[in-house]
């Protein structure tokens, strides 16, 4: 079995497991929609206000929803011991973990990105702004998944993992939040937004190349703890 077959085997295994629990897949997306729809109630239903806060609201909601979905990333494998087997396999742990994150992204990140134009409409964003929002989420959300997975890998064996995870991960999300929401705001003000999108792409490349190694070594540390 070569590396690409291994990658695909792991990916399809994870997707199959995920699709057997459909309700769990829907929860982060529902959370995303509910959080966004609370903002008009709390601030103002005025379209001009919603237009100005919209990009930031959608980005923060996406970030929190990914953070919420991260909790279950390695949980069941870690609890039933298959994580040790995955790490002991002759294939590089970083490859297998990359497959796991891609699967996680398909299940939680992708639905969220697909539904985001609808939320853009709810917040009265213009059509071309919604397109930029869509692209920025497409580039930014995988970064959130990967960097978040580092935090999960470090905290998986701990009792109070949830609060600690947000403390570890949220400061690392700041650059993506800045570039992502700013691209959308620039587009809404008819300013050039290519730079921000290119930054998001660059961050995604860095995260894709480095984070799988960090995640697999962090998981080795966490597994040695038990």
**If residue 38 lies in a helix (H) or strand (E), which one and from where to where?**
helix 22-42
Binding residue for another protein, selected from 27, 68, 106, 170, defined by CB under 8 A: 170
Please enumerate in sequence order all residues whose Cβ is within 8 A of that of 83, keeping only pairs 6 or more positions apart, or say none.
74, 77, 219, 223
179 binds another protein (CB under 8 A): yes
Minimal distance, residue 140 CB to another protein, in Å? 12
Judged by CB under 8 A, the chain residues 121 through 150 that form the site for another protein are 150
**183 burial type by CB count under 10 A (0-12 exposed, 13-18 middle, 19+ buried):** buried
In whole angstroms, how close is the CB of 220 to another protein at the nearest point?
9
How many Å apart are CA 106 and CA 15, to the nearest integer?
A: 8
Phi-psi region of 69 (alpha: psi -120 to 50; beta: other; left: phi over 0): alpha
DSSP state of 207: H
What tokens appear for 225 in the block? 């703890």
| Binding-site member from 121, 174, 198, 205 for another protein (CB under 8 A) | 174
Q: Is 201 in the site for another protein (CB under 8 A)?
A: no
Residue 203 found at the interface with another protein (CB under 8 A): yes
Instruction: Give the closest residue to 29 by CA, choosing from 142, 109, 106, 134.
Output: 109
CB of 145 to another protein, least distance (A): 15
The least CB distance from residue 111 to another protein, in Å, is: 27
Could you list the residues that contact another protein (CB under 8 A)?
150, 154-155, 157-158, 160, 164, 167-168, 170-172, 174-175, 178-179, 182, 199, 203, 210, 214, 217-218, 221-222, 224-225
């Amino acid at each position: 079995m070569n590396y690409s077959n291994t990658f695909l085997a792991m990916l399809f295994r994870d997707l199959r497991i995920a699709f057997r629990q459909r309700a769990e897949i829907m929860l982060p997306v529902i959370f995303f929609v509910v959080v966004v729809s609370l903002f008009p109630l709390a601030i103002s239903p005025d379209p001009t206000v919603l237009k100005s806060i919209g990009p930031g609201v959608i980005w923060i909601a996406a970030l929190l929803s990914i953070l919420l979905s991260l909790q279950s990333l390695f949980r069941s494998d870690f609890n039933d011991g298959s994580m040790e087997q995955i790490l002991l396999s002759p294939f590089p742990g970083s490859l297998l973990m990359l497959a796991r994150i891609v699967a996680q992204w398909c299940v939680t990140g992708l639905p969220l990105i697909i539904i985001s134009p609808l939320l853009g409409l709810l917040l009265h964003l213009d059509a071309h702004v919604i397109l930029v929002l869509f692209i920025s989420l497409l580039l930014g959300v995988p970064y959130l998944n990967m960097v978040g997975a580092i935090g999960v890998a470090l905290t998986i064996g701990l009792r109070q993992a949830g609060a600690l995870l947000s403390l570890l991960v949220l400061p690392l999300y700041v650059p993506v939040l800045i570039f992502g929401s700013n691209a959308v705001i620039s587009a809404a003000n008819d300013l050039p937004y290519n730079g921000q999108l290119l930054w998001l792409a660059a961050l995604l490349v860095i995260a894709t190349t480095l984070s799988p190694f960090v995640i697999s070594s962090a998981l080795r540390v966490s597994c040695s703890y038990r």
